[in-house]
Amino acid sequence: MSENQNIPDIGALGLARWAWRQLTSMRTALILLMLLGVAAIPGSLFPQRNQSPQKVDQYFASNPTLAHWMDRFRLFDVYASPWFSAIYLLLFISLIGCVLPRTLTHLKAIGKKPPLTPKNLDRMEGYQLLADIDAERSLEVARLWLKKHHYRIRVEAGSISAEKGYLRETGNLMFHLSLILILVGVALGSLFGMKGEAIINVGDRFINTPTSYDTITYGKFQPAGSLVPFALTATDFAAKYDPITGAPQDYTLTTSVENPIGSAPKKVIIKVNKPLTYGATKIYLQANGYSPVVTIRDKSGKVVFTGATIFLPQDADLTSVGAIKEPDMNPQIGFIGTFLPTAQMNMKRGGFSSYPEVLNPELLLSAWKGNLGLDSGVPQSVYQLNTAAMKEIGIKALLLGDTYNFGEGSITFDGWKSWVNLQIVEDPGKMYALFGAIFAILGLLVSLFTRQRRIWVKLNEKGSGVEIAGLAKNGIPGLEPELEALAGAIAPELIQQQTKEQK
Amino acid sequence: MNAIQLANFSNHAIYGCLAIFTLAFFAHAVEVAWSVGNVDGQKKTEFLFSRTERAGRLGTAMMVLGFLVLTLAVVTRGMSAHRVPWGNMYEFSITGAFTLTAAYLFALVKWKLRWLGLPVSFATLLTLGTAITVLYRPSENLVPALKSPWLAIHVSAAIISGGVFLVANLVAGTYLWMEAIEKRGERPEWAKKIPSLESLDQLSYRLIAFVFPLWTFAIIAGAIWAESAWGHYWGWDPKETWAFITWVAYAAYLHARVTVGWRGKRAAWLCIFAGSTFLFNYIYINIWGTGLHTYSGL
C-alpha cells in the first residue's frame, strides 16, 4: 500500500472507496478477528445476564458503584452489547468484501491456462539443467508426464508451463463463504426464533400457547403466538441416582403428546440428550424437582385448597423451598415451606435432605397470617412469601400424612409429585449454521492439505537439453521429489548415471 | 475383574507411569547433559557418544513403556465405568497425557525428534502428577447430560487437539530457546542434535495446520451436542468462549504465516500465545470458572 505525504482531495466517493479498501484488506480482517477474541474475554470472567441473572444481582449487591459502571459498558451482556456486535459486523463486512471479489477472480480463472514460463528458470526452486538430450522429444515426454499427473498445461514455443493444486484456493474460499453462511444462520435464529420455559407437574397437561409459559421471548421479527399447536401431558417422570454419591444418572420423562391438539395422543419419551422435535421447534427436559401435595381446611373443616405446589431445589440432594399461598381464607394464610425428600437432622444445618430420591419425606412449614399482598399490583414470585404485612403464627415439621392445626385451620401433608422444567426452542436458522459448519471444515481440509505448485520445462537457450524448475506456493514442501521424478522421466539414463556417481 | 478392581488397577498403573516417565525424564536429561563433542582424542569421543546414545535409547524405551502402561490405565479406567474415560478432569488429564505421549512417539518415528523427549516427559509427569494428587475422582457413572455418543466424538477431538497444541508449543519454545543461544554464538554440543531453527519453525507450523481442522471439528461437534442437551448450539458458556478464543488465535497464526509471511520468532510467540489460551481454558475455566461445562466437582 502506498503512503501519500500530500493527501489529494479525493472527494466523498473517493473517501468511501478508500474506507472500503481499508476495511476489506486482509490486515484489517486479521485485526478485527483478534479483536473479536479479546472482546469475548470479559463475558467469560464476569457473570452474564442471559446465563446467570442471580449472579449478576449478587454482583450488584456486593459492589453497587462498580457494577453500575460496568453495566454502563454492558459488561454483564457482553455478547449482546453494541461494541461486541460492532466488531463482528465489521468483521463479516470485511470478510464479504475480501472473499466475494476473490471468488469471482477464482471462478474466472477456471479453465484458464497457467501463466507464461519465466525468462530465467535458474532463479526458481529445484532448478536443473538436463544437458545433452534430444530437447524436442524431452518436451513431449515432459508434457505427457505432466498431463498424466493432472497438471494444467500451457504449451508455448520451446517451453511448457504447468500448474496444479487450484483446489487450495477453492477450499479456502469455501471455508470463508461457509463462515458467512454460519453467521446468516445465527442471525436468522435470533431474528425469527422463540424460546420459552415452563414448569409442569407430572400428571399436568401443557398446551403450547404463550400463556402456558413461565417465561417466553421472541426474535425481533417473529410474530408473537405463532407456535406449533401441540399439547403435552407428563405421564411419568423417573430419576435414577447413584446410591453412594447421589449423583444423577438418568432422567426419563414419559409424555403423551397431541400434535395438533385433538389428534390421537402419542407416547413420547424425552431425555436430557433426546429432545422432542417438531420441525425447527424442540422440546427439552431441562430441570426437575418436587411439588409437595397438601390439603388446607378452614376452621369448620371445609377443604379450601388441595393440590401440588412447585418448590425449587436448593442443592444436589433436592432440599426444596417454596411458598403455599391461600388468599381465600380470612385472614389470608401463607406458608414458607421446605420439602426434604430424604430428611435428616443435625445441629449445624437443622433439617436437610441427604439424598435426592424420596425415601423419608418431610415438610417443614412456617405458617403466617395477614395480608399476602397479592392485590398490591406489584408482581411477586410464586416461590416466595411476602411477609411484610403478615405475622408468623407457628412452625411445624410434618411427616407424610401428618396434619398441622395452626389455629385458623389445618394443613395436611398428603404426598408429593415430581415436576419438570420444559424448555421449548424454535430456531429456524440452525440448519444453515450446521451446513455452514460442515462446509467450513471440508473447505479447511481441502485448503490446508492441497499443495499448489508450478513446474516449468524449457529448452536450454545455449544449446542442447532442457531446463526444469518449479515454485511451491507458501513454501510447502514436496516439490523437490516431484521435480526429481519429472527429470527421471525426461532423461532416465542421465539420472541413473548421476545417482551411480553419487553412490 | 470387577469395576472396583479395574479402577484400582488403573490407579496403580498411573503410579507406575509416574515412575517410568521419571526414568525417561532422567535418561533424556543425561543424554542432553553429557553430550560432548570432538574435544581432543577420537577414542574418547566415541566412548562418550555411545554413552549419551545409550541414555537416549533408554529414554525412548521408557517413553514407549510409559505409553503402553498409560494406555492400559486409560482403558481400564474406562472399563471400570463402562464408558469412555472422559467424564471428569482427572480422566481428561490422564487421556491428555496419553495423547501427548502418542503425539511424541508419532513425531519420533516420523521425524526422529528424540530431543523432544525431555520436555515431553516433563509435561507428562506434571500432568499425571497433578491428576492423581489434586484432580483425582473415584470412577463413577456419568450425569445425564454427558450420556451421549457426542461425548466420545467431541471430547476425543478436543483432547487430541490439546495434545498436539502442547507439542507445537514445546517445539515453538525450543525454537525460541535455540534462537537465543544462536544469537550468542554457536550452539553448544548438547544442542547440536536439535534440528535447525528452520526445521523447528516448519514443524510447529505443520503440527498446527494438521490439528486446526480437528479443533474446528471439536468445537462444531460440541455445538451439535449442546443443541441436543442444552437447547442451544452456542451460548457463550465460559468454556465455549475460550474454545472460540483459541480458535481465533490459531486462525490468526495461520493467516499470519500463510498470507502475511510471519516466520521464526514472531510466529513462535504467536504459537505460544495461542497454546496458552488453550491451557488457560483447560486449567482456569475448569477449576475456577462457572458454567455448563462443570460436572461433578471437577
**How many beta-carbon pairs below 8 A join chains A and B?**
114
Using a CB-CB cut-off of 8 Å, the residues of chain A touching B144 are 248-251, 271-273
- Per-residue cell: A151: 497438471
DSSP state of A407: S
Task: Answer yes or no: are the C-beta atoms of A355 and A246 closer than 8 Å.
Answer: yes
User: Rounded mean pLDDT of chain B?
Assistant: 85
B227 and A430 within 8 Å at the Cβ level: the answer is yes
Percent of chain A at pLDDT > 70 equals: 95
Give the one of B202, B228, B255 whose C-beta lies nearest to A275's C-beta.
Answer: B228
- Per-residue cell: A215: 417465561
Give the one of B144, B220, B248 whose C-beta lies nearest to A248's C-beta.
Answer: B144
In the predicted model, is pLDDT for residue B40 greater than 60?
Answer: no
DSSP state of A209: S
In the predicted model, is pLDDT for residue A239 greater than 60?
Answer: yes
Task: Answer yes or no: are the C-beta atoms of A353 and A340 closer than 8 Å.
Answer: yes
Give the one of A26, A30, A44 whose C-beta lies nearest to B242's C-beta.
Answer: A44
Distances (CA, A) of A267 to A233, A234, A254, A263, B113: 10, 10, 7, 13, 60
Window 186-215 of B, Cβ < 8 Å to A: 202, 209-210, 212-213
Distance from CA of B28 to the nearest CA of A (A): 30
B231 and A27 within 8 Å at the Cβ level: the answer is no
Distance from CA of A375 to the nearest CA of B (A): 36
Structural domain A121-165+451-502, CATH architecture: 2-Layer Sandwich (3.30)
In the predicted model, is pLDDT for residue A198 greater than 80?
Answer: yes
pLDDT score recorded for residue A324: 94
Among candidate residues A254, A247, A267, A408, the one with its CA nearest the CA of residue A329? A408
Q: How confident is the model at residue B298 (pLDDT cuts 50, 70, 90)?
A: very low
Question: Roughly how many angstroms between the first and final C-alpha of chain A, as a whole number?
Answer: 51
pLDDT score recorded for residue B42: 46
Q: Does B227 touch chain A (CB under 8 A)?
A: yes
Task: Answer yes or no: are the C-beta atoms of A431 and B223 closer than 8 Å.
Answer: no
Give the one of A26, A78, A251 whose C-beta lies nearest to B259's C-beta.
Answer: A26
Q: Does B266 touch chain A (CB under 8 A)?
A: no
Tell me which of B234, B277, B292, B294 to substitute to probe the interface with A (most A C-beta atoms closer than 10 Å).
B234
> pLDDT by residue (tens digit) across A211-232?
899 888 888 887 766 788 999 9
Task: Answer yes or no: are the C-beta atoms of B255 and A34 closer than 8 Å.
Answer: no
Q: Does B4 touch chain A (CB under 8 A)?
A: no
Give the one of A33, A448, A477 whose C-beta lies nearest to B252's C-beta.
Answer: A33
> pLDDT by residue (tens digit) across B103-146?
999 888 887 778 888 889 999 998 998 888 888 887 777 778 78
> pLDDT by residue (tens digit) across A15-56?
888 888 887 787 888 888 889 999 999 988 888 888 778 888
- Per-residue cell: A344: 435428616
Q: Each residue of B230-266: b (16+ CB within 10 Å) or e? A: bbbbbbbbbbbbbbbbbbbbbbbbbbbbbeeebeeee
Span B90-111, average pLDDT: 89
Q: How confident is the model at residue B41 (pLDDT cuts 50, 70, 90)?
A: very low
> pLDDT by residue (tens digit) across A282-316?
999 988 999 999 999 998 989 999 999 999 998 88
pTM to 2 decimals? 0.82
Q: Does B140 touch chain A (CB under 8 A)?
A: yes
pLDDT score recorded for residue A157: 82
- Per-residue cell: A307: 393440590
Using a CB-CB cut-off of 8 Å, the residues of chain B touching A435 are none
Tell me which of A79, A244, A273 to substitute to probe the interface with B (most B C-beta atoms closer than 10 Å).
A273
pLDDT score recorded for residue A496: 65
* Sequence ranges of the domains in chain A: 11-97, 121-165+451-502, 190-288+423-437, 289-417
Percent of chain A at pLDDT > 90 equals: 40
Residue type for position B51: R
User: Rounded mean pLDDT of chain A?
Assistant: 87
For residues A438, A443, A446 and A451, what is the CA-based torsion angle, rounded to 10 degrees?
-160
User: CB burial class (10 A; 0-12, 13-18, 19+) of residue A274?
Assistant: middle
Task: Give dist(CA A457, CA A127) in Å, integer.
Answer: 10
Using a CB-CB cut-off of 8 Å, the residues of chain A touching B150 are 273
A 10 A CB-CB count for A301 gives: 8
B234 and A78 within 8 Å at the Cβ level: the answer is no
